[in-house]
Amino acid sequence: MNETILKVEDVHTYIERHHILQGVSFDAKADAVTVLIGRNGAGKSTALKTVMGLLPASKGKITYKGKEIQKNKPYQIARMGIGFVPEHMGIFAELTVEENMRVAMLVENDATARRLERVLGMFAALRKFWKSKAGNLSGGQKQMLAIGRAIVNDTSLLLIDEPSKGLAPIIVDAVIEAINQIKERSVVVLVEQNFHMASSVGDDFFIFDDGMVVHSGRVEELTQNEELQSRYLGISKGVTSNG
Amino acid sequence: MAETLFKRWNRELTMAGAGILLLLPLLGIQPKTYLTLTIAGLAMGMLLFLVASGVSIIFGLMDVLNFAHGALFAWGAYVGFTVFQLLMKWVEADSILQNLAVFLMAMVAAMVTVAILGIILERVVVRRVYGNHLFQILITFGATIVLVELIRVFWGPNDEVMTVPRTFSGNWDIMDVIVSKYRIICIFMGSMVYGIIQLILKKTKLGTIIRAGVEDRDMVQAMGHNIYLLFTGVFAVGAGLAALGGVAMSVFSLQVYPDMGGTYLLFAFIVVIIGGLGSVTGSLVGALIVGLSYNYVAYLVPWAAAGVNVLIMIIILLIRPTGLFQAGK
Amino acid sequence: MAEATPAHFHMEEKRRQYRSGSFYLKLCVVALFLLVPFLFPSFKTVDLAVQIIIFGALVASFDILLGYTGILSFGHGMFFGMGAYCMAFLIGKYGMPSYTHLVMGFVVAAAASAVLALLISFLTLRVKAIFFAMITLAIAELAIVLATKLSGLTGGEDGISFSTPGIFSVSFSMGDFMGIEITGRIITYYFILLSCLGLFLAMLRFTRSPLGRILQAIRDNAQRAEALGNKTFVYQSISITFGCVIAALIGCLYAMWMAYVNPESTLGVMTIMLDVLLMVIIGGMGTLYGGFIGAAFLKITQTFLPDLQHLAKDLFPQALLLHNILERWLLLFGILFILVVIFFPKGVIGSIKGNKQ
């Protein structure tokens, strides 16, 4: 039952002349939340963008549901059912919440309408601010909008980049709650620096360091392995990292 | 206190300042002449808007500075000229219907031809230099040379006279104010185009996607939209607008000549700097300011007319470098 | 045993430089130009040589802006014209043909162009570099309009005719030397040749200086530029001013040769600026020598194009379209321009240099 939905094999990515990803391999299985963790600059966001096609992979293979996608353009990848929530949330500030969602909806039929209802059910604030400019929303609300946009289509794989960044702990809990609901329908790949968030929702983890994957396993193992935590995540013994 | 006031109302203050400046000439000109000049200025402004809006939208969405816009404008004018030549009887006929028909046909022919040119230009040439402003300017400049030379090859290097359709020419005398018929038509046309553009941008899904793309191109792509198709489309529309401006302007100035693109390209740049790159409303406001100030100054101090717009541009650069309106409006 | 001190290394470099093939090539070219009045005494050829020298140096000064600083300016023709007009004012309309006025012409041209260049740089660079292109276009067009309209001051469309002083004047003659008469023209020719050579060497020196290297670093690495912050635009301004002042000085030399200035031929955007752009791209931007290659190529082609047209007419008498197209040499150069920008952004020289590495 736990088939691999996304498989990234030995991917290299350059940004200008910098060799950011130096042979990264990880995968995401069905019915699981995969977390990519590591310090700042380790290459996690770059990995996500490469999967999405926003950065070109100079070497390596990316397979989604059995098809190779490393050469595809971002809009083709999105249409295959992959949703993306970038680090900066990527909401369109000058457009209203409604218009943001409309841009996100690829087809406007009953199924989409149902999914929209579900999203609005999860994130009540979006319904409240439906006609307001997205730029006027609070940080947490913007994050809800970003996530909502990514799942209003028939998304089977959701890529989220640091959703807890800059958010108050209580909002982070709301995001965790949302992801727990989402993971029942889609595979989620989450990039996080926040260990609390990662361990609350994650099932499998991959640790990034200096552009490579240095360790992987089940999240339960990681929570108990303080040595790994301190080595790659900068978490010292006895101090828990929070939001 | 005064400083924060200035920061918040920056744009409003600037526009108020512009408004006051535009009313100043009343001190030196008869009200009736002022009205005639105002209408002339508004008409010229509307035509400039047609050219400038294309540059603005293309830059706003694609981050491409299109120096070939003037050449596309000239091509539009020449295609319109040819249509007029072929259907000269309708142009000279004293029938509104026939005049309107030939005018519309000229516009449509020009817009379609130049849109196609625009598509070729975008796919073959511009696409290779995305992201590099310097090369964009160079390559579109090269395209201008080629396009203008092709005009000379196909139509010859001389100035040609553009005939005004019979019922469009002449003036109305409204309470002693002489109002040129064609100028009113231009104002009407420009307003309609502005209205249509705003309608598309604000009320259609395509427009929403374009506005989103102006803010964040990558994100729109990551949401499943083929941004390259969008680019080509927007480029074609921008080119079409330039062509429309070309036809209208050639009737306005009664002539077509191969280098006509150059002068108006310059005006277009001044307009977008004043109005703000990427904003259609900005292009409109900027164009009206340029048109009006040109006409007032041309009447009062003829040799300074060309300079006053450069002066305004410099002032805007000093106090509000990004232009009056920000991208996306 | 050779010690590896910096001084020694420098000398080794120089020695290697003097022995390399390209150095001798450059020497030969200079020698050729030195001998032109004697080898090809016809006016047409000497004029062609002057055009190549002047435009070669002008394009090199433009390359300082485009190739080294990465800034596109449409105003270079204006600065060139400014220099020409300054000279015309000082030894012609508002002055008289004397050596002092000649020198003053150069000085005023340099000062005026420096001030204007700094002003424009300050105004625009802090916004976006591409605005520089648009604004210089606007100001250049404005300059032409002003020069034409303010005919009381500038001689308007008809321009200003004047005579050059003393040994440079057309009527001067120094007697015969090696078979040809040494006229004021010949002396002016050598003056221009040597001055341009000097200016060119100054430009080379500038690009190899620490400032020149910083500029190239800025041009190539946008992030480095951001890290430097405000200083970036200071460096760019200095570089631009340098290039513009040289353009103005070259304009003065051009005025000396033509003894006539008018808006169309000296300030024109579609005339001067267009040629400069074609030359710098085809010759190669970012390599000062490219300017000469581009200038030579364009000027020689322009001069011999009528002959080429006749040849085509004789060989293919029926191909009217071919005749039309050949007549529009600008069309061909425009296409060549686009092709070069797409496929050989470094031009002829740059590609050769690139291959060597």
Instruction: State the burial class of residue C8 (Cβ atoms within 10 Å of its Cβ: 0-12, 13-18, 19+).
Output: exposed
pLDDT of residue B1: 46
The sheet with strand A212-218 has its strands ordered as A82-85, A157-161, A187-192, A33-38, A204-209, A212-218
Probe site for chain C from B120, B126, B132, B145 (most C CB atoms < 10 A): B145
For C338, which of B125, B302, B314 is closest by C-beta distance?
B125
Q: In chain B, whose CA is at the least distance from the CA of C335?
A: B146
The span from the CA of A98 to the CA of A79, in Å, is 21
Is residue A228 pLDDT above 80, yes or no?
no
Q: Does B146 touch chain C (CB under 8 A)?
A: yes
**Residues of A at the B interface (Cβ-Cβ below 8 Å)?**
52, 54, 73-75, 78-79, 84, 86, 90, 92-95, 99-100, 102-104, 106, 149, 153
Average pLDDT of span B241-259: 90
In chain A, the percentage of residues whose pLDDT exceeds 90 is 21
- Of B205, B223, B228, which has the smallest distance from its Cβ to A78's Cβ? B223
Average pLDDT over residues B294-309: 83
* E-assigned strand segments in C205-299: 260-261
Q: Considering only residues 52 to 81 of chain C, which have any Cβ-Cβ distance to chain B shorter than 8 Å?
A: 66, 70, 72
**Domain layout of chain C by residue ranges:** 42-267, 269-285+294-351
**Which of A171-180, C86-95, C280-289, C321-330 bottoms out in mean pLDDT, i.e. has the lowest?**
C321-330
Q: What pLDDT score was predicted for residue A236? A: 57
What is the domain count for chain B? 1
Report the candidate in C135, C124, C18 with the shortest Cα–Cα distance to residue C75: C135
| C328 with B313: Cβ contact below 8 A | no
Identify which of A90, A94, A102 has the shortest CB distance to residue B219.
A90
Q: Say if residue C356's pLDDT is above 50.
A: no
SS3 C40: coil
In terms of CA atoms, which chain B residue is nearest residue A135? B215
| Average of per-residue pLDDT across C109-119 | 93
CA distance B250 to B168: 13
Pair B254, B161: CB distance under 8 Å:
yes
Q: Which stretch of C47-51, C114-118, C243-247, C281-285 has the lowest confidence by average pLDDT?
A: C281-285
Query: A92 and B222 in contact by Cβ < 8 A?
Result: no
Is B76 within a domain?
yes
Report the alpha-carbon distance of residue C297 to residue B60 in Å, rounded: 39
CB of B93 within 8 A of CB of B99? yes
Per the CB < 8 Å rule, is A102 touching B205?
yes
Residues of C with Cβ-Cβ distance to B48 under 8 angstroms: none
pLDDT by residue (tens digit) across C153-212? 777 777 788 877 777 777 777 777 776 777 778 888 888 999 999 999 999 899 888 888
Burial B264-295 (b: 16+ CB within 10 A, else e): bbbbbbbbbbbbbbbbbbbbbbbbbbbbbbbb
> Per the CB < 8 Å rule, is C331 touching B145?
yes
For residue B12, how many other CB atoms are within 10 A of its CB? 9
Closest alpha carbon within chain B to A102: B205
Identify the H or E element spanning C24: helix C21-39
Residue B130 lies in a domain: yes
Residues β-bridged to residue C261: C160
Residue C334 near chain B (CB below 8 Å): yes
Beta strands in chain A (DSSP E): 4-15, 18-29, 33-38, 57-64, 67-68, 82-85, 157-161, 187-192, 204-209, 212-218
Q: Kindly state the average pLDDT of the residues C52-56.
A: 92
Q: What would the pLDDT profile of A75-87 be if each residue is shown by its tens digit?
A: 999 999 999 999 8
Say whether B137 and C133 touch across the interface (CB within 8 A). Answer: yes
**Angular region, A133: left φ>0, alpha ψ -120 to 50, beta rest:** beta
pLDDT value at A227 more than 60: yes
CB nearest B269 (choices: C137, C269, C334): C137
Q: Do A99 and B212 touch (CB under 8 A)?
A: yes
| CB contact B159 to C (< 8 Å) | no
Query: What letter represents residue B165's amino acid?
Result: P
Query: What's the pLDDT band for A242 if we cut at 50, 70, 90?
Result: very low
Cβ count near C164 (within 10 Å): 24
Residue-level pLDDT at C229: 65
Residues of A in contact with B328 (CB under 8 A): 94
Which residues of chain C does B262 touch, with a Cβ-Cβ cutoff of 8 Å?
269-270
In Å, how far is B238's CA from the nearest CA of chain A? Answer: 22
Contact B266 C141 (CB under 8 A): yes
Band (A51; pLDDT cuts 50, 70, 90): very high
Query: With an 8 Å Cβ cutoff, are C338 and B146 in contact?
Result: yes
- Identify the closest residue of chain B to C134 by CA–CA distance: B269
Do residues C217 and C74 touch, judged by C-beta distance below 8 A? no
One-letter amino acid of B290: V
What confidence tens digit (pLDDT) does each residue in C247-288 have? 999 999 998 888 888 887 777 666 788 888 888 888 888 788
- Is the separation of the CB atoms in C351 and C289 below 8 Å? no
Rounded to an integer, the average pLDDT of A68-94 is 90
For residue B102, give Cα distances in angstroms to B79, B98, B187, C193.
Answer: 12, 6, 19, 60
Nearest CA in chain B to A151: B223
Q: Which chains touch C (3 or more CB pairs under 8 A)?
A: B
What domains does chain A contain, in order, with CATH numbers? 4-233 (3.40.50.300)
Asked whether the beta carbons of B65 and B136 are under 8 A apart, the reply is: yes
A85 phi and psi angles, rounded to 5 deg: -120, 105
Q: How many CB pairs under 8 A join B and C?
A: 97
Could you give the ipTM of this predicted complex? 0.86
CB of C32 within 8 Å of a chain B CB? The answer is no
pLDDT for res B297: 86
Which residues sit opposite B160 in a β-bridge? B256
Crossing angle of helices B205-215 and B227-253, rounded to 10°: 100
Higher-pLDDT residue of B147, B318:
B147
Q: pLDDT digits over B200-244, tens only?
A: 988 899 999 988 988 888 899 999 999 889 999 999 999 999 999
Q: Which of C70, C331, C342 sits opposite B134 (nearest CB)?
A: C70
Contact B83, B251 (CB under 8 A): no
Burial of A5 (0-12, 13-18, 19+ CB in 10 A): buried
Which of C142, C281, C328 is opposite residue B310, by nearest beta carbon? C142
Is residue B168 very low, low, confident or very high in pLDDT (cuts 50, 70, 90)?
confident
For residue B313, list chain C residues with Cβ-Cβ distance below 8 A.
Answer: 135, 138
Per-residue pLDDT averaged across B321-329, rounded? 70
Contact B135 C135 (CB under 8 A): no
The mean pLDDT value for C325-345 works out to 79
Domain that holds residue B171: 45-258
User: B327 to chain A: nearest residue by CA?
Assistant: A94
C36 — pLDDT class (breaks 50, 70, 90): confident
Kindly list the residues from chain C whose CB atom is less than 8 angstroms away from the CB atom of residue B303: 146, 149-150
- Which chain B residue has its CA at the smallest distance from A86's CA? B219
User: What pTM did the predictor assign?
Assistant: 0.83
Interchain contact, C130 vs B273, CB within 8 Å? no
B273–C contact, CB cutoff 8 A: yes
At residue B120, does pLDDT exceed 80? yes
* Distance between CA atoms of residues A160 and A86, nearest Å: 6
Is B310 among the domain residues?
no
Distance CA B251, CA C73 (A): 33
Provide the shortest C-alpha distance from residue B134 to chain C (in Å): 7
Question: pLDDT digits over B261-278, tens only?
Answer: 888 888 888 898 888 888
Tokens representing residue B101 in the block: 């028909």
Which of B212, B215, B222 is opposite residue A74, by nearest beta carbon? B222
Residue from B69, B146, B277 to probe the interface with C (highest C Cβ count within 10 Å): B146
DSSP state of A236: P
- All partners of chain A with 3 or more CB pairs under 8 angstroms: B
Mutation test of the interface with chain A: which of B223, B280, B281, choosing the one with the most A Cβ atoms within 10 A? Answer: B223
pLDDT exceeds cutoff 70 at C3: no
Interface test with C, best of B58, B149, B153 (most C CBs within 10 A): B149
The pair of structure tokens assigned to B9 is: 């109302």
What are C231-241's pLDDT values in tens digits? 777 888 898 99
Q: Residue B2 — pLDDT band, cuts 50, 70, 90?
A: very low
Rg (CA), chain C: 22
CA distance B146 to chain C (A): 5
Count of CB atoms situated within 10 Å of the CB of A136: 12
Are the Cβ atoms of B223 and A92 closer than 8 angstroms? no
Which residues in chain B have Cβ-Cβ distances shorter than 8 Å to A149? Answer: 223
Burial-class residue A14 by CB neighbours within 10 Å (0-12, 13-18, 19+).
middle
Encode chain B in three state secondary structure: CHHHHHHHCHHHHHHHHHHHHHHHHHHCCCHHHHHHHHHHHHHHHHHHHHHHHHHHHHHHHHCCCCCCHHHHHHHHHHHHHHHHHHCHHHHHCCCHHHHHHHHHHHHHHHHHHHHHHHHHHHHHHHHHHCCCHHHHHHHHHHHHHHHHHHHHHHHCCCCEECCCCHHHCCEEEECCEEEEHHHHHHHHHHHHHHHHHHHHHHHCHHHHHHHHHHHCHHHHHHCCCCHHHHHHHHHHHHHHHHHHHHHHHHHHHCEECCCHHHHHHHHHHHHHHHHCCCCHHHHHHHHHHHHHHHHHHHHHCHHHHHHHHHHHHHHHHHHCCCCCCCCCC
- If you average pLDDT over residues B63-69, what whole number do you get? 87
- Closest-CA residue of chain B to C342: B128
Question: Least CB-CB distance to B221: which of A75, A94, A149?
Answer: A75
CA distance A74 to A58: 16
Tell me, what amino acid is at A181? Q
CA of C159, closest CA in chain B: separation in Å? 18
